[in-house]
Each structure stands twice: as C-alpha cells, then as structure tokens.
Amino acid sequence: MSNAKSRILLIDDDQDLTGLLATYLKANGFVAEAVHSGADALKKLELDSDFHLIVLDIQMPGMTGLELLPQLRARISTPVIMLTGRGEEVDRILGLEMGADDYLGKPCNPRELLARINAVLRRSQAQKKEVVASQVSLHGLELDMGSRAITFDGNNLELTGTEFEVLAMLMQNAGSIVSKEDMTRKVLHRELTPYDRSIDVHVSRVRQQLRQFFADQELIKTVRGVGYQMIAES
C-alpha cells in the first residue's frame, strides 16, 4: 500500500513519544502531525479534518481520550486507534464501545503501531473502493454493500465502519458459525491473539443497535469457544 498521501494525527500529551512516532511514521512514507491535548485536537480538526487515521491516547490530563472520542465520532468517521495503558482492559473495551477501530497498549512499539495503522487503513480503503452493490435481506434488515448501509423499515442502523463489517459478515453467512479467528482476520485485518476481545466488543455494539428494532429477539447467537452465528430466517 502506498502511504505517500496518508495523513496521521497523533493525539497524546507525551511530546517525546509523539516526536518519536511522528519521525518513524514519516520515515515510512506517512505525513504525521501531533497535538497534545483534547482541546487542541478539537481545534485542529475543526480547521483541518482531512486525516486518514487518528492515534489517540486514552490517559491524557484534562480531557481524557475517552471523553474526546465520542466528540470525534459525532463529527468525523476517521478511523481511530487508541493507545492504552498495559492491562487497562476496561479502557480498551470502553474505547471500542465508543467507536474506536483498534487499540494498542503503551509503551507501544513503533513497528507494531505501523502494522496496526496499515491494517486499519487497508480496511478503510477497501470499504471505500467497494462498488459492487451486493444486497442481502434478512429479518427485515436490508444490507447494501454499494452504499454501505444497513436499514430496517427505512431506518438506518448507526454503525461504525468496523461494526458494519461485522454485521455484514454475519448476515452474509446467516445460519453458519463464523469463527472469531475469521472475523478478526477479515474485519480487523490481523490475527486473533489470546485475550483479544475486540471482536466481542464490536459484536456487542451491533447487538445493542439491533435491539432497538428486535427487542424480543436475539438475532446473533454466541457459540461459546468458537464465534458467532446470525439466525437464519425460517
């Protein structure tokens, strides 16, 4: 993938770290900029929101990353990778629930961050290039890969790009078990690792969105130790 035009915004109060990461990303063909507070990030994005990806530190003084993330999601759909403290599983889950695309523990290895960035950008670019209008109808849900929309009775499900991919994969394989390994590989573009709950959290978010239309019916079954299954129509 060519990164020549890919712009990355680093939001972290650690200026030494952002300097190191920016230098590393620039050496690998990206354009990288940094701001060091939530307030500065909002000002920056109000003037210039044309970034391909945002790297956001969760534990910043003042406005935390968890406080900033919903404000970003209300304004832009730019992919977000969170930086979290090692072992801060609650923060990671909250961040994913608020619409982050992936996370990485701190202190982070620049090479691993680069791999995560490339994986998220590949997914984002693949979504934008999707032009085949593959359509699926299931339980009154209408999936359109061309417009990247899922509706029920004319109402849009408000999903992030990652959540859309999760639900699309389950709908397209309705009645069959989809393993967490396959979902992680095809949706997150990386391998599933031990204790990785990213896919679980994204599925949980999709379930929450579906409950507004299917309050008395759980359409997505958990197959313990394996993955998930979308209920097929009778």
Sheet with 80-85, edge to edge strand ranges? 31-35, 7-11, 53-57, 80-85, 102-106
Would residue 183 count as lying in a domain?
Answer: yes
CATH code at 107? Answer: 3.40.50.2300
Do residues 186 and 102 both lie within one domain?
no
Do residues 82 and 171 both lie within one domain?
no
CA distance 136 to 60: 43
The residue segments making up the domain with residue 71 are 7-129
State which of 87, 114, 129 marks the end of a domain: 129
| CA 115 vs CA 7, 32, 64, 86, 102: distances in Å | 15, 15, 25, 18, 12
Would residue 76 count as lying in a domain?
Answer: yes
CA distance 140 to 115: 38
Q: Could you tell me the pLDDT band of residue 133, with boundaries at 50, 70 and 90? A: very low
Residue 148 per-residue DSSP state? T
State which of 81, 101, 129 marks the end of a domain: 129
Q: Report the chain's mean pLDDT, rounded to a whole number.
A: 88
Q: Could you tell me the pLDDT band of residue 128, with boundaries at 50, 70 and 90? A: low
SS3 230: strand
| CA 77 vs CA 59, 66, 94, 160, 192: distances in Å | 22, 16, 18, 8, 25
pLDDT at 234 exceeding the cut of 80: no
CATH code at 175? Answer: 1.10.10.10
Compare 118 and 127 and report the one with higher pLDDT: 118
Would residue 71 count as lying in a domain?
Answer: yes
Lookup: tokens for 59: 């534990």
pLDDT at 213 exceeding the cut of 80: yes
State which of 129, 158, 193 marks the end of a domain: 129
Do residues 105 and 204 both lie within one domain?
no
Of the ranges 37-46, 116-125, 136-145, 176-185, which one carries the lowest mean pLDDT score?
A: 116-125
pLDDT at 83: 93
The residue behind tokens 């997150």 is 188
Q: What is the DSSP string of 22-77?
A: HHHHHHTT-EEEEE-SHHHHHHHHHH----SEEEEES--SSS-HHHHHHHHHHH--
Lookup: tokens for 141: 């849900």
Would residue 140 count as lying in a domain?
Answer: yes
Domain count of the fold of the chain:
2
Q: Could you tell me the pLDDT band of residue 127, with boundaries at 50, 70 and 90? A: low
pLDDT at 129 exceeding the cut of 60: no
Would residue 2 count as lying in a domain?
Answer: no
Residues 64-104: pLDDT tens digits?
Answer: 999 999 999 888 889 999 998 766 777 888 888 888 889 89
Residue 189 per-residue DSSP state? S
pLDDT at 87: 64
96, 198 Cβ separation under 8 angstroms: yes
Do residues 157 and 183 both lie within one domain?
yes
* Helices 161-172 and 198-211, axial angle in degrees (round to 10): 80
Do residues 119 and 216 both lie within one domain?
no
pLDDT above 90 as % of the chain: 54
Lookup: tokens for 116: 């995560």
Do residues 160 and 77 both lie within one domain?
no
Q: What is the mean pLDDT of residues 208-233?
A: 92
The residue behind tokens 């590393």 is 24
Do residues 143 and 97 both lie within one domain?
no
Do residues 155 and 141 both lie within one domain?
yes
Compare 204 and 161 and report the one with higher pLDDT: 204
